[in-house]
Amino acid sequence: MHRNRPTVSTLLALCGALLLPPRPVAEPSLPTLPELPNEAEARAEHFLVEWRGRGPHPGRGLEVIDELDQARARGELGIVEFRRRRVDGGWQLEQDIAFPFEGIRLMAVECLSAKSPRLVWREVTERGGRTIFAEWMARSEQLKVLEWGLDGSLRESLETSRGAVMPQYLLELARSGRVDGGSFEVFDPLRGRLEHWTLEQRYVLGEPGDERTAADPSHPRREIELRRDDGTLAGRYRFEGTDLIGFEWQEGGLALRRIDAAEYEERRQAWGLDPQAEEDPDGAPPAVKDL
């Protein structure tokens, strides 16, 4: 099947890849089972997507009409929620990403089951959307991928005997300090292929964007950077302790800043966004029903 991408692929590419079971490619090695640190608890984090580019932001010259227009004129382009919670005795990682001006909603769920790690990725746009279901097949060392949308459906199996890792899960381990560098094979659902990424951790001083490096590794602000083989940024995450305070998905003017739950809810309602619904198994492969 020919893979047609949405015309808004530039914004979609911000969201990186969210697939594959936690198996390492290079040092340091990861746990063979997808277990999160013992101290892990349920969590919800909220972020505001802002324009910080040197050039004009997308709201420049916009006629202010309603709350959405006012937000865009301020350089506020979207909201994001990260969640971690227990489901049927295992951990589930979730992302809800909304760009209301572009009519884009992205939702991803990673189910960290030791038996069969899997993911559901949904793209909802004004033109329709698509869904990707991916499940790790341990015996065959393959990733089973099913994609369906307006252009039809596609089934394929990707060989991953070299090992691979989920970026959300990898970020959880980096957050807790159990991973501080290495190279990993990652599947990007937007590009439909496995990619080689490198993770680097450093300690920084000052505000985000300050390039000074702290000599003391106990400094509370850490920066985790993920880059592809071609040098492009796959993600840059800033932590104070284990709290994620901000990040970028690619180089450029867009950045995400941590906000509290009340501010997130205020914007969600003002911008007319519905809360993320529970995964609807109707019409999906049988394996999705037990997410």
Q: How far is CA 145 from CA 92, 110, 157, 182, 205, in A?
A: 19, 14, 6, 26, 42
193 in a domain, yes or no? yes
Contacts of 185 (CB under 8 A, 6+ apart): 20, 25, 160, 162, 163, 164, 165, 194, 195, 196, 197
Mean pLDDT for 178-202 is: 85
Residues in the chain: 291
In a domain, 226, yes or no: yes
Q: Contact 80/97 with Cβ under 8 angstroms?
A: yes
* pLDDT (average), residues 247-270: 92
Q: Is residue 10 part of a domain?
A: no
Res 231 pLDDT > 90 = yes
Residue 9 lies in a domain: no
Mean predicted lDDT score pLDDT of the chain? 75
Q: Confirm whether 281 is domain-assigned.
A: no
The model's pLDDT over 93-131, given as tens digits with 9 standing for 90+, comes to 999 999 998 899 999 888 887 677 888 889 999 888 989
Report the pLDDT value the prediction gives residue 63, as an integer from 0 to 100: 55
Asked, for residue 197, whether it belongs to a domain, the answer is yes
The structural domain count of the chain equals 1
d(CA 6, CA 75): 23
For 249, the domain range is 16-273
How confident is the model over 40-73, as pLDDT tens digits? 689 999 999 998 766 555 555 555 556 777 777 7
Residues 27-34, mean pLDDT to the nearest whole number: 40
**How would residue 11 be classed by pLDDT, with cut points 50, 70 and 90?**
very low
Q: Is 6 within the bounds of a domain? A: no
- Domain annotation covers residue 22: yes
Structure tokens at 217: 């590794």
Q: Please, where are the H alpha helices in the chain? A: 9-12, 67-73, 167-176, 261-270
